[in-house]
A and B are shown apart, each in its own frame.
Chain A
Amino acid sequence: MVTAVTSMGRSGLYDWLMQRISAVVLLAYFVFVGLVLLGGVDYASWKSLYSQTWMRIFSLMALLSLGVHAWVGIWGVLTDYLTERLMGKTGNVLRFVFQMACGLTMFTYLVWGIQILWGY
């Protein structure tokens, strides 16, 4: 049986709300970055933009939002297609493995992102 143990917050409403909030943050971030890129950038202006604290906070917020958004979304997809109903116990094992792989990927991106944002 598919349960809510590995969902984001074990409440449907919480997951739903977090997915919406993170979507708004991601939209704002990508629209902003898109506009900056459209305005034309060179190394110096790009570096000075990303050396400002507010931009680093904004970027970290977007990165965290990506993690939250991806977790809720992937959880939804995996609990549809990799389940005990469809493929027996294998479904549960596969789903858990996939979810851990996604979690590890997101965690790596997060740490790596922090390193990039504050490391240069």
Chain B
Amino acid sequence: MLQVSLYRYNPETDQEPWMQDVEVDTGGKDLMVLDVLELVKGKDPSMAFRRSCREGVCGSDGLNMNGKNGLACITPLSETVKNNKLVVRPLPGLPVVRDLVVDMTMFYTQYEKVQPYLQNNNPAPAIERLQTPEEREKLDGLYECILCACCSTSCPSFWWNPDRFIGPAGLLQSYRFLADSRDTATEERLSKLDDPFSVFRCHGIQNCVNVCPKGLNPTRAIGHIRNMLLSRAV
């Protein structure tokens, strides 16, 4: 029997959050953490968490499992469980709506700030805006982000200044458009990032790299943004 400790909080009935200890029969199989949560919910339907695709594509079930952020659906027990104990908490740093469900507003607000869409004032060509294979290659490792928020909520700079620091997820997307040969708003984008908070709150501790379920590297993207700001200024 797997010992599972779950963060519970129902704002309508609970004064404060509490940890619920339950035992789950995994049948000796190396289940995913999401499967364990489903087993718990089968017995206690009041348990709340987000999920959708259950295969690491939608980014709904970002959770903190045994102290490390990740997607519950693609995290096998063998990867996270130590001494037969699994502790599941909501993503740190964001307000809890209920149980494992967090309010992602602050995260999305920062994402919105970087204007995550292609901007090009030139007249649209007849068919499509072309890129060379080399130009397209620059977007690899940037476009794959699924916005699960595992990175930003593992970042202390985002915990302390979520209203000012864009955070790793937002900055990765920011660089995705800065690096895009079809985007013409580079200057406007960069001038919005020069303040001491948006980019420069990153101190390069790489918690984001450590937890990204898609294996992306926001710290490297942030370094590229910093270099772009630097070469534009000097």
Query: Is B30 in the interface zone, CB < 8 Å from A?
Result: no
Number of CB contacts from chain A to chain B under 8 A: 49
Chain A contacts of B196 at CB under 8 A? 4, 7, 10-12, 15
Known interface pairs A16-B200, A16-B226, A17-B230. Does A11 touch B194 (Cβ–Cβ under 8 Å)?
Answer: yes
Q: Is the Cβ of A12 less than 8 Å from the Cβ of B160?
A: no
Residues of B within 8 A of A (CB): 156-157, 160-161, 163-164, 193-201, 203, 226, 229-230, 233
Question: CA of A16 to CA of B156 in the docked complex: distance in angstroms?
Answer: 18
Q: How far is the CA of A34 from the CA of B108 in the complex (A)?
A: 50
Looking at chain A, what size class is its interface with the partner chain? 10 to 19
Whether B164 contacts A11 by the Cβ 8 Å rule is no
Q: Which residues of B contact A11 (CB under 8 A)?
A: 194-196
Q: Which residues of B contact A47 (CB under 8 A)?
A: none
Task: Tell me, in angstroms, the Cα distance from A90 to B13 when the chains sit together.
Answer: 31
A contact set with B: CB distance below 8 Å: 1-2, 4, 7, 10-13, 15-17, 76, 79-81, 83, 85-86
B212: shortest Cβ distance to chain A, in Å?
Answer: 23
CB closest chain-B residue, reference A79: B161
Partner of A85, one of B160, B230, B233: B160
Is the Cβ of B194 less than 8 Å from the Cβ of A80?
A: no
Task: Specify which chain B residues have a CB less than 8 angstroms from the CB of A80 in the assembled complex.
Answer: 156-157, 160-161
Distance in angstroms from A117 CB to nearest chain B CB is 31
Report A75 CB to chain B, min CB distance, Å.
8
